[in-house]
Amino acid sequence: MDQHILSHEQRERAEKKNQPDWMEPMLAKLTKDYFSDPDWIFERKLDGARCLVFKKGESVKLLSRNKKNQNHIYPELVEALRKQEYDFIADGEIVTFDGKTTSFSKLQARINVQKPSKDLIESRPVWLYIFDCMYVEGYDISALSNRERKKILSKTLHFQKPIRYCAHINENGTSYREKACEKGWEGVIAKDATKPYQHKRSGNWLKFKCVNKQELVIGGFTPPKGSREGFGALLVGFYEGDKLHYAGKVGTGYSDEDLRNLREKFDEKEIDETPFYRDIEEKDAHWLKPEWVAEIGFTEWTGDNKLRHPRYLGLRKDKQAKEVVKETP
């Protein structure tokens, strides 16, 4: 048996190079055209925070998709990854669970804590599901097929709590999505098993969603009414070029703690004029510098690009506001 993880033939097709400090993550496109295909694999869509892992000797870096270091937020993941035998770059998702489903809302308790206590780590455990490997044994393996990379990934890491291998099924994407929706999952990621890892958004990875979620920019808020603390609703939008378009207001989904904590952040970032492209008819609105990105659940888009029945799920720290666009199939 070859003593290397990569075969001689794979090393011939890969690029031998020093381990880079960064690789752009591959991103999926949204579709409503669900299908089955023997050349595709299908993975559970995880409702968490994207994470790229850079392991080199004793050094481990957990980087978000906008290059922010996450080591101090998830020290238990760093410790587990440091014990791995090989140097590698891998792609995955940090999650926590609400019952048997992953929950971005539940993950908020960890995302917002810079140095978690032992009690918090134990009471709100996280797992890192790894679904791809782009570098190992001194080779950039992005050019190898997705199916090859997953086999390489399975041989590169020892998968023990809290590090998990992201399993997949072959071919049967339509029925897998139906089962995913029945189980309350966010959806399925479909991947062309014959294609390389592309460091950009690509149609070779597709999102089969069960529920509608969208990252949106917070551009303002309304004052609270009655006994409510903090604020009434968020005013959110998305970018088209340099213009921030209004997508509606989000008044549900907040805990009392969310309302207080967000208002404290907002008080430091208020501005005098609306950041939105067009004026909004919202009495007594407070405007904010458009820096924060929120994850919003909703039922559908209206004909005038507003959200129907939106609800707040949490803040995202892994995406720049300027990157937020309306996601359409």
The yes-or-no verdict on residue 1 having pLDDT over 90 is no
Banded model confidence at residue 329, pLDDT cuts 50, 70, 90: confident
* pLDDT number for residue 2: 45
The yes-or-no verdict on residue 191 having pLDDT over 50 is yes
pLDDT tens-digit readout, 217-252: 999 999 999 889 999 999 999 999 999 999 999 999
Domains of the chain: 24-209 (3.30.470.30), 212-323 (2.40.50.140)
Q: How large is the average pLDDT for residues 172-178? A: 97
The sign of the dihedral angle between the CA atoms of 92, 98, 99, 100 is negative
Which tokens belong to 218? 């917070």
215 CB-near residues (< 8 Å, 6+ apart): 293, 294, 295, 296, 316, 319, 324, 327
The yes-or-no verdict on residue 323 having pLDDT over 90 is yes
* pLDDT number for residue 101: 92
Q: Is the peptide bond before 196 cis (omega within 30 degrees of 0)?
A: no
CB 40 within 8 A of CB 171: yes
3-state SS assignment for residue 320: coil
pLDDT tens-digit readout, 112-143: 899 999 999 999 999 999 999 999 999 999 99
Q: For residues 76 and 73, give the distance between their C-alpha atoms in angstroms, rounded to a whole number.
A: 9
- Residue 148: count other Cβ atoms within 10 Å of its Cβ: 20
Closest by Cα among 292, 209, 285 to 248? 285
3-state SS assignment for residue 280: coil
The percent of residues in the chain predicted with pLDDT above 90, rounded, is 93
The yes-or-no verdict on residue 207 having pLDDT over 60 is yes
The yes-or-no verdict on residue 211 having pLDDT over 90 is no
The yes-or-no verdict on residue 34 having pLDDT over 90 is yes
Give the mean pLDDT of the chain. Answer: 95
Banded model confidence at residue 144, pLDDT cuts 50, 70, 90: very high
Which tokens belong to 51? 């994470």
Q: How large is the average pLDDT for residues 158-171? A: 96
* pLDDT number for residue 4: 87
* pLDDT number for residue 141: 98
Q: What is the pTM of this model?
A: 0.88
- Burial of residue 293 (CB within 10 Å: 0-12, 13-18, 19+) is buried
Q: How large is the average pLDDT for residues 52-81? A: 97
Which tokens belong to 15? 């690029």
pLDDT tens-digit readout, 72-83: 999 999 999 999
pLDDT tens-digit readout, 268-308: 999 999 999 988 888 899 999 999 999 999 999 999 999 99
* pLDDT number for residue 161: 94
* pLDDT number for residue 283: 86
The percent of residues in the chain predicted with pLDDT above 70, rounded, is 99
